A and B are shown apart, each in its own frame.
Chain A
Amino acid sequence: MTDWIALARARGLDIPEQAVERIAPSLASLEEGFRPLLAKLEFSGEPAITLSESAVLAK
């Protein structure tokens, strides 16, 4: 289980500890639901983000 307070501190985020404590249950619940979904991913599955034509052509 992720220690969100330690994580915020390690990343140098300016989020007060009390604020992290308040959001920790929501993050933990999100993490608990999200992690098992990764089993759906195939190794070569690409993200639904595409490099735009205009970015390729940008001068």
Chain B
Amino acid sequence: MNIEQAAAKLRAREISAVELARESLRIIGELQPKLNAFITVTSELALEQAKRADEELARGVDRGPLHGIPYALKDVFSTRGIRTTLGSKIFADHVPESDCAVYEKLTAAGAVLMGKTGMQEFAYGITCNNPHFGPIRNPHDPERIPGGSSGGSGVAVAAGMVFFAMGSDTGGSIRNPAAYCGCVGLKPTSGRVSRFGVLPLDFSLDHMGPLTRTARDAGLVLNALAGHDERDDTSSRQPVADYAGSGGSLAGRRIGIPENFFQDRLSPEVAAAFQAAVARAESAGAKLVRFRTPDPAEINLVSRVILMSEASALMEPYLHRRDDFGADVLALFDQGRLLSATDYVNAQRLRRVMQKEWSKVWDSVDCLFTPTAPIVAPRIGESHVEIAGAPEDVRLASTRFVRAFNVLGWPAISIPLPSAGLPIGLQIVGAPFAETEVLWFGGAMEALPSL
């Protein structure tokens, strides 16, 4: 059941919000010991919010499609009175005094918070092998990582614990767990969703977005979240749209297929699934535009300099507590401290150059298709994977195709592709503020036979 179906059942009185919340709690209770998706489960609050949702619906107060729908927040979203840990020991006892904008908006939309999901420590990495809260496990194979850093959110959605979960994405942290867990993950355009009250990793690259079961569900959640927030300096004043439109044909739509970089060093199963998706889109009438992008390897380097510099600047007051950090994130924070201010400023200057170079892409295509990741979910504890006969760092491999779009600020979604084995994601990228297009293409691909 997806959000749309649950919302219809709620309005038909076939089910109540309290029943939905109880079922969600039952599944969480059953799977949490195996998958470790949550850091905090807010059972009492969930039942309270669900009861209120039912009472309102009975009185004719309808807050929209999310009214009464169980969901979860990654543990970076500040929630008043509910601890918000960033998956870290440093913030293990941090209880915010106010709510973030995302929680305010979802509460106003009548959604029911089931808890705060587990994550990579400080949202800095993709394994979710968290040294303080334990490893989060992939529902398709518990010996494998769920991806990250929003791994708990990906697991909670893919395992049916909640209908949607919020994540944050600095270098792929929504799209990567969506790909590895087999759900949808949307990173909206920079500035589209307010970051107010979210504990940051990186001021320049952080984006907030939903993980869901369908592209249309992601649009329904974005409808509740999009809009200007004067409390967030990066929040956009671009007009919002209806993001949950669906239907229509791919015939004549121009899909850009980058022939460089995004086709390199793919595992055989990812290559086969991606080619099959492209062929299916073409047979549905889409016009494939094969072309070469500016070099994404260059933009990935810029991304690393910006991320490491900003993240280390942010954590500087805590870095003397070396024993309170996991070894992997501490190594990244240490690297950031050794970069120079000149490198950081030049990376931000290069970002502007690259934004201009890449914007020419939109002269000839309506969206881009790439694999979300070149591999399927690696095993827990693996630091390197072998791709096409050569070893590659798990973090760098997993984020190779996604992090450019944080630097560019463009919207991008990962949707699951048919796979006989572990989940594989298709990344669909759009022009700035073209979330409607990205979601539309996602919905159109989901609707194709065998997708």
Contacts and interface: CB of A to CB of B under 8 A. Distances in A.
Given A22-B331, A34-B343, A54-B230, A46 B349 contact: yes
Contacts of A53: 233
A1 to B, nearest CB: 14
Contact of B331 (A14, A19, A30, A33): A19
B352 A30 contact: no
Q: How large is the interface on A (under 10, 10 to 19, 20 to 34, 35 or more residues)?
A: 20 to 34
B352 A47 contact: yes
Contacts, number: 77
B301 A30 contact: yes
Contact of A55 (B233, B319, B322): B233
Contacts of A27: 335, 338-339
B79 to A, nearest CB: 24
A3 to B, nearest CB: 11
Contact of B302 (A7, A14, A19, A37): A37
Interface residues of B, number: 31
13 contacts: A13-B338, A14-B320, A19-B330, A20-B334, A22-B331, A27-B335, A30-B301, A34-B305, A34-B343, A41-B353, A47-B351, A54-B230, A54-B233
B204 interface: yes
B349 A23 contact: no
Given A23-B335, A37-B298, A41-B349, A49 B343 contact: no
Interface SS, A side:
helix
A11 B340 CA distance: 11
Contacts of A46: 349, 352
Given A15-B337, A54-B233, 6 more contacts: A7-B338, A34-B305, A34-B343, A47-B351, A47-B352, A49-B204
Nearest to A33: B301
A38 B349 CA distance: 9
Interface in A6-59: 7-8, 11, 13-15, 19-20, 22-23, 26-27, 30, 33-34, 37-38, 40-41, 45-49, 52-55
Contact of A48 (B301, B322, B343, B351): B351
Interface in B282-308: 297-298, 301-302, 304-305
A37 B319 CA distance: 30
A49 B407 CA distance: 12
B353 A34 contact: no
A23 B331 contact: yes
A48 B337 contact: no
Which 4 residue pairs across A and B have the least CB separation, nearest first? Answer: A47-B348, A52-B233, A48-B351, A48-B352
B352 A4 contact: no
A30 B337 CA distance: 14
A19 B338 CA distance: 12
Nearest to B298: A37
B338 A48 contact: no
A25 B444 CA distance: 44
Contacts of A45: 349, 352-353
Contacts of B349: 41, 45-48
Given A30-B305, A37-B302, A15 B233 contact: no
B384 to A, nearest CB: 13
